Amino acid sequence: MAEHENGENLRTVFGPVPSRRLGQSLGIDPLPGGKTCNWNCIYCQLGRTRPLVNERRAYVPVEKILADVRRALGSLEPTEVDWITFVASGETLLHSGMGELILAVKEMAPYPVAVITNGSLLSVPEVRRELLPADAVMPSLDAGQAKLFKKITRHHPDLDFQQHVDGLVAFREQYTGQLWVETMLMRGVNDSEEQLRDLAAVVARIRPDSLHLVSPTRPPVEPWVQPVGDEALARARAILGDVVTILQERPGVFELGEEEDPATAVLDIIVRHPMREDLLREALSHWQEGVVDQVLAELARDPRAQVVERFGCRFWSGSRQIYPDQAPD
């Protein structure tokens, strides 16, 4: 299990970061001690899941997370945040205090609250109830049949495809907020006509407000995972219908606290959102003059950071994240 025993000392709030769906999003990570997940997706930007974890508990105390949120909000101007987003280093809903956290954050700040989740625990009635006050919930659905779903997610043995779909359907029946399902399209993995028709049949059962199609732009854990091209996106839109929104990487400003050490501020982001080196350079140059080469040199020496190469690009990531071609398997 990921090491959360020192959770009192871990930073749980980061950003705001530019989001493809949410503008400038202030992130809350309730599982900040290392990747904690019940899936081991082939495309995950946070590396491999070791071991798979499917236990809900308070990995970091609720009081600690809320104190971090208050501190972050106190340092930001109201116009700097569009949404507050719960997005974990792993599966968000594994934190057992999500219901309490959502309600407390909504009382604390005027911003809408989103929850990014793989959706694997929505089959649990208690989990569905906890999410009802959120303004938007964004679960994943990357396949429309069990064999492909398992190939992509490499999920915990206590989970399965039918359970996942039934949970999404049950949540839709209760939830009145925005349900935005996300599908990661990958070349030669889940982008064929047959695979997309299987997906469309399941999406029709779930009835989300929108189906967000994305393709890998951050470093997938498996080096053979590749983004799809325009032809596959057009095919997906034609088969999946009007519910589809195709999301592209959103350029924007990464908020790096001016009172912070810049290398520490960058590290806070890349352990959750690996960044392409050219975008990192751009963000740093806009933030503070003359620090780009200095920060990259510090990161290169820092044992908590690493460089991962995907799609012919260099990405900066946290060193705890396990990529099979970067470290012994």
Residue 264 lies in a domain: no
Instruction: Write out the residue range of the structural domain in which residue 320 sits.
Output: 272-329
Widest pairwise Cα distance in the chain: 53
Task: Look at residue 217 and tell me if it is in a domain.
Answer: yes
CATH number at residue 277: 1.10.10
Q: Which residues, in sequence order, are CB contacts of 238 under 8 Å at separation 6+?
A: none
What is the four-CA torsion angle of 161, 186, 84, 272, rounded to 10 degrees? Answer: 100
**pLDDT category of residue 265 using cuts at 50, 70 and 90:** confident
**Residue 117 and residue 242 in one domain:** yes
Do 228 and 313 share a domain, yes or no? no
Secondary structure class of 134 (helix, strand, coil): coil
DSSP per residue over 272-316, as a string? TS-EEHHHHHHHHHHHSTT-HHHHHHHHHH-TTEEEEEETTEEEE
Q: What is the mean pLDDT of residues 294-312?
A: 92
Q: What is the pLDDT of residue 324?
A: 85
Cβ atoms 56, 121 nearer than 8 A: yes
Q: Which residue has the tokens 């205090």?
A: 97
What count of Cα atoms within 13 Å lies in the side-chain half-sphere of residue 283? Answer: 26
Q: Which residues of 118-144 are buried (b: 16+ CB within 10 A; e: fewer)?
A: bbbbbbeeebbebbeebebbbbbbbbb
Domain match, 285 and 184 both: no
Strand order from edge to edge, sheet including 305-310: 275-276, 313-318, 305-310
pLDDT digits (tens, 9 = 90+) for 41-85: 999 999 999 999 999 999 999 999 999 999 999 999 999 999 999
Domain CATH code at residue 58:
3.20.20.70
Whether 278 is in a domain gets the answer: yes
* Residue 260 falls inside a structural domain: no
**Residue 323 tokens, joined:** 């990529």
Same structural domain, 72 and 147: yes
Q: Are 319 and 228 within one domain?
A: no
Phi and psi angles of residue 130, each rounded to the nearest 5 degrees, phi first: -60, -30
What is the total count of domains within the chain? 2
245 lies in the same domain as 277? no
Closest to 306 (Cα-Cα) out of 20, 112, 47, 118: 47
The pTM score is 0.88
- 118 in the same domain as 217: yes
| 89-128 residue pLDDT tens | 999 999 999 999 999 999 999 999 999 999 999 999 999 9
178 and 246 inside one domain: yes
**Does residue 294 sit in the same domain as residue 242?**
no
Examine residue 1 and state whether it is found in any structural domain, yes or no: no
Identify the helix (H) or strand (E) that includes residue 122. Answer: none
Per DSSP, helices labelled H in the chain are 62-74, 98-108, 125-131, 146-153, 161-174, 193-206, 230-240, 262-270, 277-287, 292-301
Residues 75, 216, single domain; the answer is yes
- In sequence order, the β-bridge partners of residue 305 are 318
Report yes or no on 218 lying in a domain.
Answer: yes
* pLDDT of the residue at 191: 97
169 domain residue, yes or no: yes
Q: Are residues 244 and 283 located together in one domain of the fold?
A: no
In this structure, are 157 and 294 located in the same domain? no
Does any domain span residue 267?
A: no
